[in-house]
Amino acid sequence: MLQDSGLAEDITQEVFVKVYTSILSFNEQSSLSTWIYRITVNKCLDYLRSQNRQKRQGLFSSLFQKDSGEPINDAVDFVHPGIKLDQKENAKYLFQAIKSLPENQKTAFILVHIEELPQKEIAEIMNLSVKAIESLLQRAKENLRKKLDPIYERRKKL
């Protein structure tokens, strides 16, 4: 969720401190991994909210070079430079679109498509119903489509 390995390590330490200090309050209504995911998502969202309050960049800003705006993490490495440039541009547009999603949609989308978690577990992590997760994912896809279709159509014309 943070797209910054150093920051992710810091949050991971905070998560395990929280797990250690709160393990007695774990009520076993969900699996231990779900409980830890919930703590992790909450810690990440808390951090991102504090960054937003401080007028800093949000969720995926750390994916891009500050000077050039180019993605830090390269897409799949293709041999042809034109394809490589095209993939970087696609990643840039995608990450900008994901960044603009509402918080719940963004969280559900990341947990499904990046973490590859089942919807039932995401529902437990986010403390929502499976139907609510399905709805969030549907709205996230629609919002991403609305944001990315004009870019795709414009690039197709070139």
Are the beta carbons of 90 and 75 closer than 8 angstroms?
Answer: yes
CA 4 to chain CA centroid, nearest Å: 12
Confidence check: pLDDT of 24 > 80 = yes
Structural domain boundaries of the chain?
A: 1-56
CATH tag, 1-56: 1.10.1740.10
Confidence check: pLDDT of 28 > 80 = yes
CA-nearest of 128, 122, 145, 157 to 31 is 122
For 79-138, the pLDDT digits (tens) are: 455 555 666 777 788 888 888 899 999 999 989 988 889 999 999 999 999 999 999 999
Distances (CA, A) of 147 to 14, 59, 114, 150: 35, 17, 20, 7
Q: What is the pLDDT of residue 84?
A: 58
